Amino acid sequence: MDARSILLIIFDGLGDRPIAELGHKTPLEVAPKPALDWFAANGVNGLLDPIAPGVRPGSDTSHLALFGYDPLKVYTGRGPFEAAGVGIEVGPGDVAFRCNFVTVDGDLNVVDRRAGRIREGTEELAKALDGMKLGRVKVLFRAGTEHRAALVFRGKGLSPQVSDTDPHEHAVKALDSKPLVPKAKATAKALNAFTKEAHKRLKDHPVNAERTARGEMPANLVLARGAGIFPDIEPVTKRYGLKAAGIAGVALIKGMYRAVGIEVLEVPGATGGLDTNMVAKADAALAALRTHDLVVVNVKAADLCGHDGNASGKITVVERIDQMMAAIKANLPQEAVVALTSDHSTPVAIKDHSGDPVPVTIFGEGVRVDDVMAYDERSAAKGGLGRIRGQDLMPILLSLANRGEKYGA
């Protein structure tokens, strides 16, 4: 029994519900997609509940489940994963926050929660804050995309049980962080000290002076929310003995990879946006399969169309995904096991993640091929895999890749 490599492709938010304008079909059902259908016709199919039936997953909790972890046990909030995604080496015990660069007036009243949708100069602003010392707490700070940033506190006895400084609305003063449990007092104090010091360092920063001179809003404060402690997760290298690589455009998913020991591969043109170069992702994934046991690809575009309520956009995304799958089909190593699924449905009618299950197809040597001929929600329901949960996927793939551990004698 030779161990095989596993290619797991996650079409973020691709699952949908029937739409009246599409003749009560889903975008997957109406889009032409010969390559996806080929994998379905030559594989085994089913429906997958990322967390559990009816539970609306976040991308982070769902990816944990698809990697075989129980999110209810290991998930501690998205902050730590976003911090890992922008390149902060987060470790157990670190407390991470999601942040926005914002514009405030002299009394710290929030004028704009996105600092005039700032796009440039945030890395320089972040440098002014990174490495700050707040008593015994060390600050790690990185800019993300646009106004987004990640903040990590490192030190002894930190707690994520503190309230946000982000009031989540305009014309309100930046909030004082409050400890939600007595042992979080020092963390709340450090966060409040951070707010003060950040304003001091940012208000006259050259980047902001230039912005003001151009009539743009200065990014003169950072507001924090969603504190989370970095979880102690056994990496896939240890848990399954897999050397793993991952490809993604968005920071959160890169953070998910790093958190579970999946090496992040940077692919030029893989932006995580609608303009992302999917064929470049396919080529990078195929190359990585030669050197890794598990390769994970996240394609974000369908989720963006779902959130925008854009059905025709989602159909276009399916066609582009299909070109990517055609490239993979053409050059797939014979011994690879391929799984095609989503981390959740993002129905265009809802513009958010729903609790609907998603199609899953597994293709590879030895797979018990069923009668399903198409990769879509309706067809998948008739497949041989039946209905599984996100956490079931990794054991099934390991088994098909001849990597499963025997339970019992």
Judged by beta carbon, residue 5 or residue 59, the one nearer Zn ion is 59
Single out the segment in contact with Zn ion by CB under 5 A; choices: 9-17, 167-175, 179-187, 331-339: 9-17
Judged by beta carbon, residue 177 or residue 276, the one nearer Zn ion is 276
Judged by beta carbon, residue 80 or residue 272, the one nearer Zn ion is 272
Please, what is the minimum distance in Å from the beta carbon of residue 243 to Zn ion?
Answer: 25
Please, what is the minimum distance in Å from the beta carbon of residue 51 to Zn ion?
Answer: 12
Judged by beta carbon, residue 59 or residue 165, the one nearer Zn ion is 59
Nearest residue to Zn ion on Cβ basis: 59
Please, what is the minimum distance in Å from the beta carbon of residue 96 to Zn ion?
Answer: 19
Q: Note whether 112 binds Zn ion by CB under 5 A.
A: no
Single out the segment in contact with Zn ion by CB under 5 A; choices: 143-151, 279-287, 337-345, 366-374: 337-345
Please, what is the minimum distance in Å from the beta carbon of residue 303 to Zn ion?
Answer: 4
Judged by beta carbon, residue 68 or residue 347, the one nearer Zn ion is 347
Judged by beta carbon, residue 52 or residue 180, the one nearer Zn ion is 52
Please, what is the minimum distance in Å from the beta carbon of residue 136 to Zn ion?
Answer: 37
Nearest to 200 by CA among 250, 258, 134, 248: 134
Judged by beta carbon, residue 14 or residue 140, the one nearer Zn ion is 14
- Label the pairing between strands 337-341 and 6-11: parallel
Single out the segment in contact with Zn ion by CB under 5 A; choices: 52-60, 75-83, 134-142, 377-385: 52-60
Strands across the sheet containing 44-49 = 263-264, 244-247, 294-299, 6-11, 337-341, 358-363, 44-49, 386-389
Please, what is the minimum distance in Å from the beta carbon of residue 14 to Zn ion?
Answer: 9
Q: Note whether 29 binds Zn ion by CB under 5 A.
A: no
Please, what is the minimum distance in Å from the beta carbon of residue 143 to Zn ion?
Answer: 22
Give long-range contacts, CB 8 A cutoff, 24+ apart: 204-211. Answer: 205/124, 205/125, 205/128, 206/124, 207/121, 207/124, 207/125, 208/125, 210/121, 211/116, 211/118, 211/121
Judged by beta carbon, residue 12 or residue 370, the one nearer Zn ion is 12
Q: Note whether 303 binds Zn ion by CB under 5 A.
A: yes
Judged by beta carbon, residue 4 or residue 353, the one nearer Zn ion is 353
Q: Could you say which DSSP state residue 183 is in?
A: G
Nearest to 235 by CA among 227, 245, 226: 245
Judged by beta carbon, residue 66 or residue 337, the one nearer Zn ion is 66
Judged by beta carbon, residue 60 or residue 392, the one nearer Zn ion is 60
CB neighbour list of residue 240: distance below 8 Å, 6 or more residues apart? 68, 294, 394, 398, 403
Single out the segment in contact with Zn ion by CB under 5 A; choices: 36-44, 102-110, 297-305, 367-375: 297-305
Please, what is the minimum distance in Å from the beta carbon of residue 212 to Zn ion?
Answer: 34
CA distance 273 to 265: 17
Q: How far apart are the first and last CA of the chain?
A: 18
Tell me which residues in 56-95 interact with Zn ion (CB under 5 A): 59
Half-sphere exposure of 99 toward its Cβ, with a 13 Å CA cutoff? Answer: 31
Give long-range contacts, CB 8 A cutoff, 24+ apart: 121-125. Answer: 121/207, 121/210, 121/211, 121/219, 122/146, 122/147, 122/149, 122/219, 124/205, 124/206, 124/207, 125/101, 125/202, 125/205, 125/207, 125/208, 125/219
Q: Note whether 356 binds Zn ion by CB under 5 A.
A: no
Phi then psi for residue 144, to 5 deg, are -105, -145
Q: Note whether 343 binds Zn ion by CB under 5 A.
A: yes
Single out the segment in contact with Zn ion by CB under 5 A; choices: 54-62, 94-102, 158-166, 188-196: 54-62
Contact 306, 13 (CB under 8 A): yes
Please, what is the minimum distance in Å from the beta carbon of residue 302 to Zn ion?
Answer: 9
Single out the segment in contact with Zn ion by CB under 5 A; choices: 215-223, 288-296, 312-320, 335-343: 335-343
CB neighbour list of residue 382: distance below 8 Å, 6 or more residues apart? 45, 370, 371, 372
Q: Note whether 12 binds Zn ion by CB under 5 A.
A: yes
Please, what is the minimum distance in Å from the beta carbon of residue 265 to Zn ion?
Answer: 19
Please, what is the minimum distance in Å from the beta carbon of residue 75 to Zn ion?
Answer: 14
Give residue for tokens 């129980």: 70
Please count the residues of this chain forming the interface with Zn ion, following the rule CB under 5 A.
Answer: 4
Give residue for tokens 């926050």: 97
CA distance 306 to 33: 19
CB neighbour list of residue 20: distance below 8 Å, 6 or more residues apart? none
Name the residues that contact Zn ion, by CB under 5 A: 12, 59, 303, 343
